[in-house]
């Protein structure tokens, strides 16, 4: 019984953490470039809705996943151009996109009838038979395994490529990077595009992978949990993923505790992942150093 309950909690934690993991990889890269991207929520919920709408129209959940990913990329493109080409405050742009995406997806969801679809489940022989962890980790919808490629790809881009070196320079000293010939705002826009792509993928997976349908405000603030995970991880990818795992586990416990007979205040359970995120940020941010230019707009010649 205990093993079954543990496997159920672990399975829920994986299912809930994976969408956060995709988005967190993108947000990590964006913040290393100096962009505090608070439109992650808009990217995720837009990706979720367009994935379900496309799957409903075509009958293909995999195509829906692809379209949802592209929708997140589009939100990143809008954010980057509004912030850097039109010089609108990036926080204002992010808030506006979050509100707009929530309103539009709720409106279209109410005015259209969507048929739910889910991507195929993949079961890995031998590994799925490992006690306790086998089924939760190795019997999953196939996009889950994409995270195993996205994580090392993100690390490699940031830590082992010239592009990543320029990103980190832009996040630490944009004026110095500009002097060396690096196009600061271009690199930041590219980081937002990467973040938009992965956040759209995370939202799309939540809709056509984990759930199989779209509900109003189904991301429910997960974009802000992603930002909290990056801060919790001290702007390091490994720490960010630990934060994602903790928040996913807290969300899973919210669902699992009532199922095993533990009765707690329902509002407290709903708030638990966000309270944990807030506590983590308070404890961690005091003893870590963020990228020096994080959240600071760049204008050539102005120090």
Q: What is the 3-state secondary structure (H, E, C) of 10-71?
A: HHHHHHHHHHHHHHHHHHHHHHHCCCCCCCHHHHHHHHHHHHHHHHHHHCCHHHHHHHHHHH
Residue 155 is classified by DSSP as: H
In this prediction, residues 224-243 reach a mean pLDDT of: 91
Q: For 30-62, write each residue's pLDDT tens digit.
A: 999 999 899 999 999 999 999 999 999 999 999
Q: For 86-98, write each residue's pLDDT tens digit.
A: 889 999 999 999 9
In this structure, is residue 65 part of a structural domain?
A: yes
In this structure, is residue 89 part of a structural domain?
A: yes
Residue 131 is classified by DSSP as: T
Non-local (6+) Cβ contacts of 52 within 8 A are: 64, 68, 114, 116, 117, 207, 208, 213, 214
Q: For 152-175, write each residue's pLDDT tens digit.
A: 999 999 999 999 999 999 999 999
* pLDDT higher than 90, residue 267: no
In this structure, is residue 245 part of a structural domain?
A: no
In this prediction, residues 245-265 reach a mean pLDDT of: 73
Can you tell me the distance from the alpha carbon of 190 to that of 43, in angstroms, rounded to the nearest whole number?
15
In this structure, is residue 5 part of a structural domain?
A: no
CA 24 to centroid of chain Cα atoms: 4
Can you tell me the distance from the alpha carbon of 50 to that of 48, in angstroms, rounded to the nearest whole number?
6
Can you tell me the distance from the alpha carbon of 172 to that of 32, in angstroms, rounded to the nearest whole number?
8
In this structure, is residue 236 part of a structural domain?
A: no
Can you tell me the distance from the alpha carbon of 9 to that of 4, in angstroms, rounded to the nearest whole number?
9
Q: Are 155 and 237 in contact (CB under 8 A)?
A: yes
* pLDDT higher than 90, residue 303: no
Q: Which two tokens stand for residue 118?
A: 């889910």
Q: Please state the domain count of the chain.
A: 1
Beta bridge partners of 139: 123
* pLDDT higher than 60, residue 183: yes
Only one residue has tokens 């496309």, namely 54
Please state which of the ranges 182-196, 208-222, 239-253 shows the lowest mean pLDDT.
239-253
In this structure, is residue 173 part of a structural domain?
A: yes
Give this prediction's pTM: 0.92
Under the banding of pLDDT at 50, 70 and 90, the label for residue 247 is confident
Can you tell me the distance from the alpha carbon of 174 to that of 180, in angstroms, rounded to the nearest whole number?
10
* pLDDT higher than 80, residue 117: yes
* pLDDT higher than 70, residue 85: yes
What pLDDT is stored for residue 135 in this prediction? 82
Can you tell me the distance from the alpha carbon of 6 to that of 1, in angstroms, rounded to the nearest whole number?
9
Query: Among 21, 23, 29, which residue's Cα sits nearest to residue 159?
Result: 29
* pLDDT higher than 90, residue 253: no
In this structure, is residue 292 part of a structural domain?
A: no
Give residue 147's domain range: 18-218
* pLDDT higher than 60, residue 5: no
In this structure, is residue 185 part of a structural domain?
A: yes
């Amino acid at each position: 019984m205990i093993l079954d309950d543990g496997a159920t909690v672990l399975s829920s934690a994986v299912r809930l953490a994976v969408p956060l993991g995709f988005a967190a990889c993108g947000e990590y890269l964006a913040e290393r470039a100096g962009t505090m991207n608070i439109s992650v929520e808009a990217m995720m919920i837009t990706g979720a809705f367009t994935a379900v709408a496309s799957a409903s129209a075509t009958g293909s959940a995999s195509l829906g996943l692809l379209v949802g990913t592209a929708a997140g990329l589009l939100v990143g493109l809008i954010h980057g151009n509004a912030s850097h080409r039109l010089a609108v405050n990036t926080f204002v742009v992010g808030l506006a996109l979050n509100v707009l995406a929530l309103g539009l997806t709720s409106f279209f969801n109410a005015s259209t009838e969507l048929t739910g679809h889910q991507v195929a489940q993949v079961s890995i022989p031998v590994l799925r038979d490992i006690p306790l962890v086998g089924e939760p980790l190795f019997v999953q919808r196939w996009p889950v395994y994409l995270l195993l490629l996205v994580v090392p790809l993100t690390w490699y881009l940031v830590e082992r490529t010239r592009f990543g070196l320029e990103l980190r320079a832009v996040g630490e000293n944009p004026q110095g990077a500009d002097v060396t010939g690096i196009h600061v705002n271009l690199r930041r826009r590219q980081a937002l595009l990467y973040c938009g792509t992965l956040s759209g993928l995370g939202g799309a997976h939540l809709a056509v992978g984990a759930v199989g349908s779209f509900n109003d405000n189904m991301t429910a603030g997960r974009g802000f949990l992603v930002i909290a995970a990056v801060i919790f991880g001290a702007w390091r990818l490994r720490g960010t993923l630990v934060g994602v795992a903790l928040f996913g586990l807290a969300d899973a416990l919210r669902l699992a505790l009532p199922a095993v007979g533990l009765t707690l205040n329902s509002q407290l359970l709903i708030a638990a992942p966000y309270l944990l995120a807030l506590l983590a940020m308070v404890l961690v941010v005091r003893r870590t150093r963020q990228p020096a230019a994080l959240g600071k707009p760049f204008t050539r010649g102005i120090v």
